[in-house]
Structure 1
Amino acid sequence: MTLFVALAVLAAVVSFVCSIVVWKLGLRFKLYPQIRERDVHTRPTPRLGGIAIFIGILAAFGAAWLVSSLGPDRFSLLTIVFENPAQVLSILGAALMIVLLGVADDLWDLDWMTKLAGQFIAAGLVAWQGVSIVSLPIGGISVGSSWMSAVVTVFAIVLVMNAVNFIDGLDGLVAGVTLIANGVFFIYTYLLVQQTSPFNYFNLASLIAVVLVGALAGFLPINWHPAKMFMGDAGALLVGLLMATSAIAVTGQINPAAAGIEDLFAAFIPIILPFAVLVIPLLDFGLAVLRRLRAGKSPFSADRKHLHHRLLDMGHSHLHAVLIFYAWTAVVAVGCLLTYVLPVYLGTSARWALLFIGVGFVVCAVITLAPLGRRKRLTVAAEEAPAAELPGVDELAGVPETHGPVTAEAAPVESPEPPNGAR
Structure 2
Amino acid sequence: MGQLPASSFVLPVREYVLVGLTAAVVTFLLTGLVRLLAFRIGAVAYPRQRDVHVKPMPRMGGLAIYGGVLGGMLLAHQLPVLRAAFDFSNDPIGVIIAGGVIVLVGVIDDRFELDSLTKLAGQVTAAGILVLFGLQWMIAWVPWGGGATLSLDQNQGALLTVLLAVTMINAMNFVDGLDGLAAGIGLIAATATCAFSIGLLVQAEGSVDAYPPALIAAALAGACLGFLPHNFNPARIFMGDSGSMLIGLMLAAATTSASGKMNVGSRDASDLLGLLSPLIVVAAVLFVPLLDLLMAVIRRTARGESPFSADKMHLHHRLLEIGHSQRRAVLLIYLWAGVLAFGAVALTLFDPAIVVTFLVIGLIVAVFVSAVPRLREARKS
Q: Given the two structures, how large is their TM-score scaled by the length of structure 2? A: 0.90
Inter-partner Cα distance in structure 2 for 1:257 and 1:195: 12
Other-structure match for 2:365: 363
Give distance in 1, aligned partners of 2:223 and 2:320: 28
Residue 156 in structure 1 maps to residue 164 in structure 2: yes
Quote the offset at 1:199 in angstroms: 6.5
Query: What is the DSSP-based 3-state SS (H/G/I as helix, E as strand, rest coil) of the residue aligned with 2:83?
Result: helix
Q: Give, in whole Å, the separation in 2 of the partners of 1:36 and 1:146.
A: 44
CA 1:85–1:192: 2 relative to 1, 3 Å: closer
Cα distance in 1 between the residues matched to 2:348 and 2:29: 37
User: Which residue does the alignment assign to 1:179?
Assistant: 187
CA change 1:92–1:265 in 2 (3 A) is: same
**C-alpha RMSD of the superposition:** 2.0
Check the 8 A contact 2:131/2:161 in 1, yes or no: yes
What is the distance in 1 between the residues matched to 2:188 and 2:164? 21
Sequence identity percentage: 37
- Superposed CA offset, 1:208-227 (max 9, x none): 01111111111110001100
Encode CA deviations 1:69-100: one digit per residue, 9 max, x unaligned: xxxxxx2x433211267543332111111101
Partner residue of 1:338 out of 346, 362, 367: 346
Partners of 1:247 and 1:274 within 8 A in 2: yes
- Indicate the residue corresponding to 1:18 in structure 2: 30
Moved more, 116-125 or 80-89: 80-89
Q: Which residue of 2 aligns with 1:383?
A: none
Q: Does 1:242 align with 2:242?
A: no
Contact kept, 8 Å, 1:185 with 1:209, in 2: the verdict is yes
Extract unaligned runs of 5+ from structure 1: 68-74, 343-347, 381-423
Q: Is the 8 A contact 1:194 1:201 kept in 2?
A: no
Tell me, in whole angstroms, the C-alpha distance in 2 between the residues paired with 1:316 and 1:323: 10
The match for 1:2 among 14, 20, 43 is 14
Does the residue aligned with 1:78 lie in a helix, a strand or coil?
Answer: coil
C-alpha distance in 2 between matches for 1:158 and 1:200 = 27
Equivalent residues in 2 for 1:408-419 (5 A)? none
Which whole-Å CA distance do the structure 1 matches of 2:89 and 2:361 have between them? 45
Indicate yes or no: 2:284 matched with 1:276.
yes
**For 1:123-272, what aligned pairs fall within 5 Å after superposition?**
123-137=127-141, 141-198=149-206, 203-251=211-259, 252-253=261-262, 255=264, 258-259=267-268, 263-272=271-280
Paired residue for 1:324, among 311, 318, 332? Answer: 332
Q: For 2:313, give the aligned amino acid.
A: K
Query: How many residues were matched structurally?
Result: 364
CA distance in 1, matches of 2:156, 2:255: 18
SS at structure 2 position matched to 1:340: helix
Q: Is the 8 A contact 1:11 1:59 kept in 2?
A: yes
Gaps of 5+ in 2: 1-12
Q: How many angstroms does 1:232 deviate by?
A: 0.9
* Amino acid in structure 2 at the alignment position of 1:352: I
Aligned to 2:71: 59
Q: SS at the partner of 1:141?
A: strand
Structure 2 matches for 1:79-90, cutoff 5 A?
79-83=83-87, 87-90=91-94
Greater gyration radius: 1
Q: Scaled by the length of structure 1, what TM-score is found?
A: 0.82
Give 3-state SS (helix, strand or coil) of 1:136's partner: strand
**Alpha-carbon distance in 1 for matches of 2:151, 2:172:** 25
**Which of 38-47 and 357-366 deviates more?**
357-366
Contact 2:200 / 2:210 at 8 angstroms: preserved in 1?
A: no
**Contact 2:149 / 2:264 at 8 angstroms: preserved in 1?**
no
What is aligned with 2:8? none
**Counterparts of 1:89 and 1:159 in 2: how far apart (Å)?**
22
